[in-house]
Amino acid sequence: ELLNLLKNINPHMIILDISMPNLRGIEAAHEVKMVYPEIKVVILTMHKKKEYLYHALSAGADGYLLKEDTGEELLTAITKIRRGGIYLSPILSEELTNELIGFYRNGRKPLDDPLTMREKEILKLIAEEKSSKEIANLLFISVRTVGHHRSSIMKKLNINKIAGLVKYAIQKGYTSNI
């Protein structure tokens, strides 16, 4: 529905919420960017968890603002994004900066995550109760490839059961299914 609407009105920018009826904002952002890469996508949400931010950026979002940010922040974000920039909520920017400084001071790499983007995608679908066949159809890969990815995910995370994968996916913010 959203993609058809965009085809008809051809906007330069859209603002999405992560929690929209009948559609998840991060998935919508990804779909929009796949079909209309020129459209700028801003996520406006109540979700402060960094995992949501990371997923929004991975989906192609050009901006991520919190609903508690001021209207002035929204205008600043729109201006910066229209000029080709990326804009993050000042609340999250400060937190990310402090985290990044902490990583480097402690000699660790920021954002260490053992999973590839494809593995994260498959993990998300597993957590959403999709079967291997459904995942294969959605991602245009074979059921066997899904199985290989699932085995790789379980090995990397040292998890032996699907329930453990679902728990991990929820904790990391890969899915909102609870």
Per-residue pLDDT tens digits for 7-51? 888 889 999 998 766 657 888 888 888 888 999 999 999 988 887
102-127 pLDDT, tens digit per residue, is 767 766 555 566 788 888 899 999 99
Of these ranges, 7-16, 49-58, 68-77, 92-101, the one predicted with the greatest mean pLDDT is 68-77
Locate 10 and state its tokens: 């051809």
How confident is the model at residue 1, as a pLDDT?
A: 74
- Give the integer Cα–Cα distance in Å for 77 and 130: 36
3-state DSSP helix/strand/coil percent for the chain, to nearest 5?
A: 55, 10, 35
Residues 6+ apart with CB under 8 A from 176: 19, 24, 170
19 φ, ψ (degrees, to nearest 5): -105, 85
Kindly state the average pLDDT of the residues 68-92.
Answer: 94
Q: Which domains does the chain have, with CATH numbers?
A: 2-105 (3.40.50.2300), 117-171 (1.10.10.10)
pTM of this prediction?
0.59
Q: Give the Cα-Cα-Cα angle 70, 75, 78 (nearest 5 degrees).
A: 130
φ and ψ at 125, to 5 degrees? -70, -35
In this prediction, residue 110 carries a pLDDT of 54
